[in-house]
Amino acid sequence: MIDFLADIYPWTKALHIISVISWMAGMLYLPRLFVYHVAAETGSVQSETFKIMERRLLRGIINPAMILSFIFGGALLATPGIVDFAAGWIWIKLAALFFMTGFHGYLSRWRKEFAADSNTHSSKFYRYANEIPTALMVLIVIMVAVKPF
Ligand code: HEM
């Protein structure tokens, strides 16, 4: 199994990058949809359309892309000679992933609130929330690409 993972390493990495791009695209776009959704009147056609877009984005793209990111990322962790667990960067990456996954959970909760017409947050709140996955993504990519320590 371990030898097999070493053989397919470039493919695992390619599939990992494809899945994290898809995960991040959704994580950055969904809070943006919330910013616009706040401005739509409850019960309006526009508000109902946002609900459909948000549900499809979360269930059709963000959730499966997150699962695939963990599967391929986990396979990279298990590939021999790829990660030096004595280095600091991998632990910072894993900590950032913990917060990214937590943010995913919040997005899911906010989507449900919008779906039930019970959102309580302002558009400013979602604008700021949008910065969280951006900052985590920058940190993660610097950790894996630069490996500063
Ligand atoms: C979902 C859980 C994740 C796990 C378990 C994971 C784990 C890993 C591992 C072990 C590597 C191999 C590192 C290396 O080749 O030196 C890797 C590579 C990479 N990861 Fe992740 N990762 C995850 C999510 C993410 C996310 C969310 C991003 C981006 C925001 C990301 C971006 C990358 C990139 C760009 C590489 C390639 C680095 C290189 O050129 O070698 N990963 N990941």
Q: Whose C-alpha lies nearest to ligand 1, atom 21? A: 73
Pocket around ligand 1 at a 6 A CB cut-off: 13, 16-17, 20, 24, 69-70, 73-74, 76-77, 82-83, 97, 100, 137, 140-141, 144-145
To test the pocket of ligand 1, the residue of 20, 62, 104 to mutate (highest count of ligand atoms within 8 Å of its CB) is 20
**Residue 93 token pair:** 């990456």
Predicted TM-score of the model (pTM): 0.94
What is the per-residue pLDDT for 61?
A: 98
Sign of CA dihedral 84, 88, 92, 98: positive
- Using the atom order of ligand 1, give the atom closest to the CA of residue 137: 30
Q: Encode the chain (149 residues) as per-residue pLDDT tens digits.
A: 678 999 999 999 999 999 999 999 999 999 999 999 999 999 999 999 999 999 999 999 999 999 999 999 999 999 999 999 999 999 999 999 999 999 999 999 999 999 999 999 999 999 999 999 999 999 999 999 999 99
3-state secondary structure 61-97: HHHHHHHHHHHHHHHHHHCCCCCCCCCCHHHHHHHHH
- Using a 10 angstrom Cβ sphere, with 0-12 exposed, 13-18 middle and 19 or more buried, the burial of residue 34 is buried
